[in-house]
Amino acid sequence: MISVLDASVALKWQFEDEEVTRPATALLEDFIEGKIELISPTLFPYEILSAINVVINRERIDESTGHKAVSYITSIGIELRSISDLIAPIFFKARRYRLSPYDCAYIALAEKEKCDFYTGDKKLFNSVQKLLPWVKWIGDYRSD
């Protein structure tokens, strides 16, 4: 089974004070055990870098811890997929759902791959849950 995940889910693996870390960790464990395949658009590492940089700047973690988090998340084998053929769908989804093109890159990839998309971004989830049932809140993830 393939699933798309966004940076908000992966960041929950590193920050225990985040909301719904247990289901996010269950997803990670299923991935490590080979029960699921995780994919993400090529912008994923940039979003991880950006978020970790913000957390360091806010002095929530130190630079060494941030570097370890970036290294771990970007090295565990999440397959990155090009979005070059998804530019038009991303644009139109961003306009239709009034979301960022970043968020819509994940949505467009999941739609293309015909798989679930897990997010830890409650605002994103709430904005499309009734229209796109394959967009899943990570808090609802259950290991099979």
Helix axes 44-57, 63-75, angle to 10 degrees: 160
* Superfamily (CATH H level) for 2-140: 5'-nuclease (3.40.50.1010)
Name residue, tokens 């985040």: 18
- Res 68: pLDDT: 96
Residue 79 β-bridge partners: 39
State pLDDT tens for residues 37-93: 999 999 999 999 999 999 999 999 999 999 999 999 999 999 999 999 999 999 999
**For residue 15, is pLDDT > 90?**
no
Domain boundaries, the chain: 2-140
For 33-54, b/e burial (b = at least 16 CB within 10 A) is eeebebbbbebbbebbeebbee
- Res 23: pLDDT: 97
- Res 85: pLDDT: 97
**For residue 26, is pLDDT > 90?**
yes
CA distance 108 to 65: 32
State pLDDT tens for residues 117-135: 999 999 999 999 999 999 9
- Res 144: pLDDT: 76
